[in-house]
Structure 1
Amino acid sequence: MPVALLALAIAAFGIGTTEFVIMGLLPDVATDLGVSVPTAGLLISGYALGVVVGAPLLTALGSKVPRKTVLTGLMVLFIAGNLVSALAPGYGLLMTGRVVAALSHGAFFGVGSVVAASLVPPSRRASAIAIMFAGLTVANVLGVPAGTALGQQFGWRSTFWAVSVLGVIALIGVVALVPSRPVAEGHSLRSELAVFRRPQVWLALAMTALGFGGMFAAFSYIAPMMTEVAGFSSGAVAWLLVLFGGGLVVGNVIGGRSADRALMPSLYVSLAVLAVVLVVFVFTAHAQLPAAVTIAVFGVAGFAAVPPLQARVMAKAGDAPALASAANIAAFNLGNAGGSWLGGLAIAHGLGYTAPNWIGAVLAAAGLGAALLSGALDRRPAHRTEPEIPALH
Structure 2
Amino acid sequence: MATEDMSRAAEARKPSGPSGRRGVLALAFGVFAVGTGEFVLAGLLPLLSQSLGVSVAVAGQVVTAFALTCATAAPVLTTLTAGWPRRHVLLVAVLTYLAGSAGTALAPSYPLVLVAQIIAAAGVGVFVPTASITAAALVPPHRSGRAIATVVTGFTAAVTLGAPLGTALGGVLGWRATMWFASALAILGMLGVLALVPGRVPVPAPQGLRQRLLPLADVRVVAILGTTLVGFTAVYIPYTYIGAVFAPATSGDELRLATLMFVLGAVGTVGNLAAGALADRFGGPRVVAGALVWLIASLLVLPLATASYGAAIAMVLCYGIAAFAITTPQQHRLLSMETGSAAVLVSLNQAVLYLAIAMSGVVGGLGISWAGATNLGLLAAVLAALALGLSETARRLQGQRAAGRRGT
State how far apart, in whole Å, the 2-side matches of 1:232 and 1:40 are.
Answer: 19
Structure 1 residues 129 and 282, CA gap change in structure 2 (3 angstroms): farther
| Shift of residue 366, structure 1, vs aligned partner | 2.0
State how far apart, in whole Å, the 2-side matches of 1:268 and 1:243 are.
Answer: 24
- What SS class does the counterpart of residue 379 from structure 1 fall into? helix
* Structure 2 match to 1:263: 284
| Shift of residue 208, structure 1, vs aligned partner | 0.8
Indicate the percent of aligned positions where both proteins have the same amino acid: 33
* Structure 1 match to 2:262: 242
Q: Deviations over 1:96-150 (max 9, x none)?
A: 321111012233333334445564766983x554432332233233322332344
Verify: 1:103 aligned to 2:125, yes or no. Answer: no
Matches within 5 A, 1:164-175: 164-175=183-194
Matches within 5 A, 1:43-122: 43-65=62-84, 67-88=86-107, 91-116=110-135, 119=139
Asked if 1 retains the 8 angstrom alpha-carbon contact of 2:164 and 2:259, the reply is no
- What SS class does the counterpart of residue 234 from structure 1 fall into? coil
What one-letter code is carried by the residue in structure 2 that aligns with 1:368?
L
State how far apart, in whole Å, the 1-side matches of 2:144 and 2:301 are.
Answer: 33
Asked if 2 retains the 8 angstrom alpha-carbon contact of 1:79 and 1:168, the reply is yes
Q: Deviations over 1:278-330 (max 9, x none)?
A: 23434455665444212112112111111232344455573444454333223
What one-letter code is carried by the residue in structure 2 that aligns with 1:292?
I
Which TM-score applies when normalising by structure 2?
0.78
Q: How many residues align?
A: 381
Give unmatched runs, 5+ long, in structure 2: 1-17
Matches within 5 A, 1:1-393: 2-26=21-45, 35-37=53-55, 40-65=59-84, 67-88=86-107, 91-116=110-135, 119=139, 125=145, 128-151=147-170, 153-154=172-173, 156-178=175-197, 180-185=200-205, 187-228=207-248, 231-235=249-253, 236-261=256-281, 262-285=283-306, 288-314=309-335, 316=337, 318-350=339-371, 353-381=373-401
C-alpha RMSD over aligned residues? 3.5
* Structure 1 match to 2:11: none
| Shift of residue 233, structure 1, vs aligned partner | 3.0
Structure 1 residues 28 and 381, CA gap change in structure 2 (3 angstroms): closer
State how far apart, in whole Å, the 2-side matches of 1:321 and 1:140 are.
Answer: 25
Name whichever of 312-321 and 355-364 sits farther off: 312-321
Name whichever of 156-165 and 368-377 sits farther off: 156-165
Asked if 1 retains the 8 angstrom alpha-carbon contact of 2:64 and 2:359, the reply is no
State how far apart, in whole Å, the 2-side matches of 1:160 and 1:211 are.
Answer: 29
Structure 1 residues 311 and 345, CA gap change in structure 2 (3 angstroms): same
What one-letter code is carried by the residue in structure 1 that aligns with 2:264?
F
State how far apart, in whole Å, the 2-side matches of 1:116 and 1:384 are.
Answer: 36
Structure 1 residues 189 and 30, CA gap change in structure 2 (3 angstroms): closer
Which TM-score applies when normalising by structure 1?
0.81
Name whichever of 236-245 and 52-61 sits farther off: 236-245
Asked if 1 retains the 8 angstrom alpha-carbon contact of 2:240 and 2:361, the reply is yes
* Structure 2 match to 1:390: none
- What SS class does the counterpart of residue 63 from structure 1 fall into? coil
* Structure 1 match to 2:7: none
Structure 1 residues 260 and 109, CA gap change in structure 2 (3 angstroms): farther
What one-letter code is carried by the residue in structure 1 that aligns with 2:246?
M
State how far apart, in whole Å, the 1-side matches of 2:315 and 2:186 are.
Answer: 34
Structure 1 residues 256 and 30, CA gap change in structure 2 (3 angstroms): same
Give unmatched runs, 5+ long, in structure 1: 387-393
